[in-house]
Amino acid sequence: MTMIFGVPLAVFMGQLTLGLVNGAFYALLSLGLAVIFGLLKIVNFAHGAQYMLGAFAALLGFRYLGINYWLALLLVPLVVGAFGVLLERFLLRRIAHLDHLYGLLLTFGLALIFEGTLVNFFGVSGARYATPEILQGGLNLGFMFLPTYRAWVLVAALAMCLFTWFMIERTRLGAYLRAGTENSQLMQAFGVNVPLLITLTYGFGVALAAFAGVLAAPLYPVSPTMGSSLLIVVFAVVVIGGMGSILGAIITGLAMGIIEGLTKVYYPEASNTVIFFVMIVVLMLRPVGLFGKEA
């Protein structure tokens, strides 16, 4: 059997795939955080809770309304995104003129409310969401076994990342968004409806989190606390990559997933802390983050 640094190739590749899949989630979530941060200048602490709401919406939609996975993948981001639009319109907008730390505190409070409410109804032990039939099983690639669903998550998450990148960098709406990030007052003077743009941007960021949640539902146990621990790791990823660039967020997310996966192979004790250590090293060598602009 082929060995890589004393580890069987199949095990090595298996963990690498797991890491890449986790990295795809880091990328999707940090991308959403970066999009929201760009225009609203707040860190959306409810992002993890919104990811969790996405997974729960898929689960409950299936259980009570018979909505299948594919429909959920389309509908849930729209519904949760619309919910995000309401949050921005009625809560976040009221404190937009204040220090941006208040935005962080407000969304933290919202995260506590969402998480606590669902814990009361569903407990902390997770529920299972069935993998759609067509994506069950796996491919034998000869040197490793690749579960189809993981491959699909990787493809879908990357496609969504690229779609977001395209929307922001190559469309007119994206141009407005980038201009608003640079100078929203000037944009408003040019007749662009900036408040509407802000609302839609927040809604889009929340929809991205919900999309990630639906993707994650068949992979991890669906529980009310699934988002919060993930979010802290994503924060570390954001500190490592900086929130300045879309591609930076995607690359950093995937890279951190791979590093985490490899740590699981060679030094499993540190697998849940390695990203924080990377963050510390980055802070010491390049405080603005790998893709951050010098202030």
Q: Count CB neighbours of 138 within 10 A.
A: 14
Report the alpha-carbon distance of residue 71 to residue 235 in Å, rounded.
30
Cβ proximity to another protein: between 153 and 234 the closer is 234
Cβ proximity to another protein: between 42 and 215 the closer is 42
Cβ proximity to another protein: between 137 and 287 the closer is 287
Which residue type, as a one-letter code, is found at position 37? F
Torsion angle of alpha carbons 235, 126, 123, 92, nearest 10°? 30
Under DSSP, the state recorded for 143 is S
The DSSP annotation for 150-216 comes to HHHHHHHHHHHHHHHHHHHHHSHHHHHHHHHHH-HHHHHHTT--HHHHHHHHHHHHHHHHHHHHHHH
Distance of CA 273 to the CA centre of its chain: 19
CB 132 to another protein: min, Å: 33
CB 287 to another protein: min, Å: 4
Binding residues (CB under 8 A) for another protein: these are 37, 42-43, 91, 94-95, 98, 100-102, 104-106, 108-113, 115-117, 119-120, 228, 232-233, 235-236, 238-239, 269, 272-273, 276-277, 279-280, 283-284, 287
Nearest C-alpha neighbor of 178 from the set 30, 187, 293: 187
CB 291 to another protein: min, Å: 14
Report the alpha-carbon distance of residue 295 to residue 292 in Å, rounded.
9
CB 121 to another protein: min, Å: 10
State the Cα angle at 114 between 112 and 117, rounded to 5°: 100
Q: Which residues contact 150 (CB under 8 A, 6 or more apart)?
A: 17, 18, 21, 219
Cβ proximity to another protein: between 195 and 244 the closer is 244
> CB of 200 within 8 A of CB of 45?
no
CB 69 to another protein: min, Å: 30
Cβ proximity to another protein: between 178 and 286 the closer is 286
Cβ proximity to another protein: between 62 and 276 the closer is 276
CB 224 to another protein: min, Å: 10
CB 282 to another protein: min, Å: 10
Cβ proximity to another protein: between 94 and 128 the closer is 94
